[in-house]
Amino acid sequence: MKFIVIGGDAAGMSAASRAKRNMPELSVCVYEQTQDVSYSACGMPYNIADAGRQIDDLVVRKASVFREKQDIDLKLGHRVEKIDISNKAIKGKDSSGNAFSDNYDILLIATGASPIIPNLPGFDLPGIFALKSLEDGRKLKQFLRPEIKKAVILGMGYIALEMAESFHNRGISVSMIKHRPQLLPWLSSNLANRVQKELKAHDIQLYDGHPVAGIESTNNQLNVISKDLTLNADIVLTAIGVRPNSQIAKDAQIKTGPSDAILVDSKMATTGKDVFAAGDCASVMHNVSKKQTWIPLALYANRGGWTVADNVCRKNKYIPGVVGTAVFKVFGLQVARTGLNMSEAKKAGFDPVEIVIQSRSRAHAHPGAGKIDVSMVGDVSSGRLLGVQMVGEEGVAHRINAPAIALHGKMSVEEFSLADFAYAPPFSPVWDPLLTAANQLLKKM
C-alpha cells in the first residue's frame, strides 16, 4: 500500500512519520514544493528579532533524518498541481520544470495556507515581504541590513503584532496600518485597549481604519499610500491574514467549507475517496459552537496529521475538534483566548452574557504581581461556560488552559467556579482571577 502526502510541514510530516512508525512496511512518499520541512514557523518572529541566530535553528528535523532513519521517500522542490481521484494519481512539476506523476492508494492533502497579498499596485516591489514559510523568514532576515530603519506592517493580527516587537528589538521604528477600525476586534474592548497602550508605550504607531491603496517607490524608499496619509518605510511586511491552499482539492471536485478550507470529517477524511486533508488547509469542528470552522493553529495541524496516519493504518481514530485556544506575546503582555467571544456566541445561537474583571497574578502581599484582565462569557439559557480571554504581564499563557479544558468538558460557569485551583502566593491569589471572573459572571446569569 502506498501513502502519498502533499506538503511537508507540520501536518504532512507528522502523518508521514506516524504512519511509518505504525506500519513500517507501508510505502510513504512526501511531495514538498519548497526545500524546507519540519520547522517551527511560529518561532520566526522571535528568531528574526535576534540578528545573531540562524534562521535554520528553527528546523526541527532535517530531511535526511526522514529519509535515512525513517525510510520516508521525501521529494523536495516538487509541486503537486493536480489530483486525479478516479485514477488515484497525482501530477506536478519539480523545481527544474520537469513533469512527474505518481499513484497512491491513500492520499493526504497537507498544503497549508498562504499569506494574503493585496491585489494593489506596488506589492511586487523589492522590500515587501510576507511571513509564512521558512524561506520567507530567510529572505526577510537577510534583508534587515543596518540601514533598514523604518518598517510598515499591514495588519494587526498575531503575526503582525509579534513582528512589530521583532522589528522594534532590531532598532527599527514601526508603523502599523489596517483597513478596518479597532485593534484586535475579536478581543474584548477593555483588553484590546490594554494591548494598544502597550504598543504605544513602545512607540509603535497605529493607524486603524485606513485602507491601503497601493505602494510606491521613490528614492530607494517605499511609500505606503492610503487616502489620507502616506507612510514611509525601508521595509514593508504584509500580515493581513492567510487563506487555505485548497484550490488543488477544489479542482479535484473535493468539497470545501468555511473560509474555503477543505471540508473534513472527524477522521480527517475529505469527500474524495481515499483522500484525507489536515493542517492549515483543512476545516475543523468547533466544540463549543458545534459548527465547522477554520482555525489554522499548530497543535491541531500536528494532531490532524496523527489522526490521518492512524486511520491510514486502520486504527479507526477520531479527532476531538477544537475550542480555539491561542496565545501570543506583545512586548510585556501575554494575550490569550479560548472558546467564543460575545459576537461569536450570538452567531452560534447562544444567549450570551459577559463579565470583565481585573485581578492580580500573585497574592496581594507578594512582590512582583502584575494585573490580569479577564473577559468571561457564559450562556444564560444553559449556564454553560462559552469562552475566556485574558491579558496580563504574567500568568496568562498557561492559565488559559484551565478554561480550555472546561470548554472541552462542557462545564457550566458554576461548575468552573467550584473547580479546585492550586494556590500559593508567588503564583496566584487565593481566589484565582479565573475563579473571580466565574463568580462575577454567575451574578449576571
Residues noted as catalytic: 42
Distance of CA 100 to the CA centre of its chain: 32
* Helix, strand, coil % over all residues of the chain, rounded to 5: 25, 30, 45
DSSP result, 262-331: BP--TT-B-SSTTEEE-STTB-EEBTTT-SEE----HHHHHHHHHHHHHHHTT-------B---EEEEET
Beta carbons of 282 and 254 less than 8 angstroms apart? no
Residue among 420, 421, 411 at smallest CA distance from 441: 411
- Dist CA 377 CA 187 (whole Å): 12
CA distance 404 to 433: 15
Distance CA 129, CA 159 (A): 13
CB neighbour class for 97 (10 Å; exposed up to 12, middle 13-18, buried from 19): exposed
- The rounded distance, in Å, linking the Cα atoms of 151 and 125 is 15
- d(Cα 319, Cα 396) in Å, to the nearest integer? 27
* Beta bridge partners of residue 322, listed in sequence order: 286
| 401-404-409-413 Cα dihedral, nearest 10 degrees | 100
